[in-house]
Amino acid sequence: MSKASKSNKTVLSAEEKQRKKRRTAIVIKRQIPFYILMLPGLICLAIFCYMPLPGILVAFKNYNWREGILGSPWVDPIFKNFEFFFESDVAFRTTFNTLFYNIIQMVLGPALAITVAILLNEIRGKVSASVYKGAILLPTFLSWVIVQYIMYALLNPGRGIFSSVFGIDANFYMEPSYWRVIMPLVYLWKGFGYSSVLYVAAISGINTDYYEAADLDGASRWQKIKYITLPMLKPTFMILMLMSLGNIFRGGAGDWQGFVTATNDSGMLYPATDVIDSYVYRALRTLNDYGMSAAASLYQSIIGFVLVLVTDRVIHRIDPDSSML
Amino acid sequence: MGRKHKIGVFDVSVHIVFILLSLACILPLLLVLGISLTAESSLISEGYHLIPREFSTAAYSYVFTSSSTIIRAYGVTVFVTVVGTFLQLLFTAMMAYALTRPEVKGRYFLSLIVYIPCLFNGGMVASYILMSQTLHLRNTIWVLFVGSMISPANVLIMRKFLRSIPESLIESARIDGSGEIRTFFKIVLPLSKPSLASLGLFTAIAFWNDWMTCNLYITDTKLFNLQYLLQSMMKNIQNVLANADRTQGMQNALAHLPTEGVRMATCILAIGPIILLYPMLQKYFNKGLTIGAVKE
């Protein structure tokens, strides 16, 4: 009896095992097509996002391309490139400029965009509203090289509009102090249309019941803006602010190229226009100093990593749909 | 009566504000257009003006008849934009879809693999060494788009969109005997057309406007894209055009090159397609612009 039941049990478990095996086989087999779909993306990620990572070591190396990243000798002491970067005034200058322009942008950008969005929302004519929208969005789609040409057409000493029409004979490309005003204006000009449209979308998402109720109570336009629209825009504002905060030190991702093109990459202007990204770029391309470039870029990446991660997690708390992951 | 009048004043002033803002955005481009249509001699003696003092199309005729460089650069830009956008959209959508499927066991880990590059990258030096010394892609047309064939941020955005596709549709396709890959191409992709269109719009514009990649990896003038050609023309137009056109005995013509005009004319040609496609772009504004930023 006992023997029979035992063998019965083993038979059952063997059968179960086989069923389990078949089930895992099915589970694996069902996944295969999805892995095929993912394959090109995974390969590209591996090559273009993960393979460059060992390149970070260049910040600690005396890089020469014949010996490659791993073969090149370490610098001695190991933080020499960083010491060099921080002891020269470059680190302070580029960090200061990066913060300076980003903070101005974070204050003026949303202020202008929210004002424009609210006014745009007040326009009743659908055609005129969409014409205005189209016009203010135009700069968003222009490349930084086109911006360089526009700036040149305006500022070119002797021929530019400022000198030929307004008679201002300043040599803009030689005098850094002007650019503390010019650069924020350029970035506002290029970006306000896009963020205004984001806020318009947020306004159109506000429940119209609020406005109807306010109308019944005899609220004025200004009161409706102050007590309904502005408070309702707060989440959008918070998220966009956090995003720009996170992007301050995010290498390559921010729109730093304007600092190279709009200024015509004029060396005289570096004290006012050199940001971390433009320095990383110049150290690599013009100065050919791989170590310094990599050191500056790693310094930026580490701060950037912390800022992006923290802001993205905070955004996730506020609104999971707006966070990256 | 009084109340109505008040609203009228407000409306008018809002319109005035927007007319001024619109002019601020459009006039700079019209200025470039104006300069490109002015005779070189007038530009040199009288400076730039919005309305040409001395009208001339010499710059454009030079661009279209005498210089193969600019036409070729147009070709490079169009090729890279079309191929790059197509591949990026395809790879991004494929990956994003797979990441939404519950069948895929390691999808949380895989999502993390996509997320990490959004937070941290090796920096410009690292990519530069990879592209030029490991992969030997310098001075090839591939370098202009291979690095952008996948965009981790767009994968994450697309993944959110694809989650909203009803499971029942995919289920019923499966019951009808469609394979998973077929379901993706025949059902999922067509359903995500609006989001693909708006992502594609931004990707295409990024490819069209990119000059940095070309700047880093291309020294052969034959492979210059439009934006980088423009950028290097600003530095020294003679060299850029001379190097490429030397074989055609262009040295003579270069002596009479309408420098300022040709620069601005090329600039206008580089903006041209964006302006021409603008009505189509605007169609996707309302849907597409808020992608990945803020939900409506």
Q: Helix, strand, or coil here: B55?
A: strand
| Residue A163 touches partner B, C-beta closer than 8 Å | yes
> Is A195 a domain residue?
yes
Q: Are residues A96 and A245 in the same domain?
A: yes
Please report, rounded to a whole number, the percentage of residues in chain A having pLDDT higher than 70: 95
Q: Are residues A179 and A45 in the same domain?
A: no
Q: Helix, strand, or coil here: B101?
A: coil
Burial class (CB in 10 A: 0-12, 13-18, 19+), A25: exposed
* Residues in B touching A30 (Cβ below 8 Å): 103, 180
| Residue A35 touches partner B, C-beta closer than 8 Å | yes
Q: Are residues A222 and A182 in the same domain?
A: yes
Q: Are residues A139 and A178 in the same domain?
A: yes
Which residues are CB-neighbours of B196 under 8 A, at least 6 positions away? B89, B93, B189
Cα–Cα distance, B191 to B188 (Å, whole number):
5
CA angle A283, A289, A291 (to 5 degrees): 105
CATH of the domain at A246: 1.10.3720.10
Q: What is the mean pLDDT of residues A253-269?
A: 85
- What does the pLDDT look like over A161-210, one tens digit per residue? 888 888 888 888 889 999 999 999 999 999 999 999 889 988 988 999 99
Q: Are residues A142 and A244 in the same domain?
A: yes
Per-residue tokens: B236: 């020294």
- What does the pLDDT look like over A142-159, one tens digit per residue? 999 999 999 999 998 888
Closest Cα of chain A to B71: distance in Å?
Answer: 18
> Is A73 a domain residue?
no
- What does the pLDDT look like over B9-27, one tens digit per residue? 888 999 999 999 999 999 9
Cα–Cα distance, B127 to A305 (Å, whole number):
18
Q: Are residues A38 and A169 in the same domain?
A: no
Q: Are residues A163 and A264 in the same domain?
A: yes
Q: How many domains does chain A have?
A: 2
Q: How many residues are listed for chain B in this entry?
A: 296
Q: Are residues A25 and A161 in the same domain?
A: no
Which residues are CB-neighbours of B104 under 8 A, at least 6 positions away? A31, A34, A35, B98, B110
Q: Are residues A170 and A36 in the same domain?
A: no
Q: Is the pLDDT of residue A213 over 90?
A: yes
> Is A309 a domain residue?
yes
Q: Are residues A203 and A290 in the same domain?
A: yes
ipTM of model: 0.87
**Do A138 and B208 lie within an 8 Å CB cutoff?**
no
> Is A253 a domain residue?
yes
Q: What is the DSSP letter of A75?
A: P
Residue ranges making up the domain that contains A299:
80-322
| Residue A324 touches partner B, C-beta closer than 8 Å | yes
Q: What is the DSSP letter of A226?
A: I
> Is A148 a domain residue?
yes
Mark residue B242 as left, alpha or beta (left: phi above 0; alpha: psi -120 to 50; beta: remaining): alpha
Q: Are residues A288 and A154 in the same domain?
A: yes
Q: Are residues A11 and A118 in the same domain?
A: no
Q: Compute φ and ψ for A8, nearest 5 degrees.
A: -60, -45
Cα–Cα distance, B46 to B39 (Å, whole number):
10
Q: Are B124 and A281 in contact (CB under 8 A)?
A: yes
**Do A33 and B104 lie within an 8 Å CB cutoff?**
no
| Residue A278 touches partner B, C-beta closer than 8 Å | no
> Is A72 a domain residue?
no
**Do B101 and A119 lie within an 8 Å CB cutoff?**
no
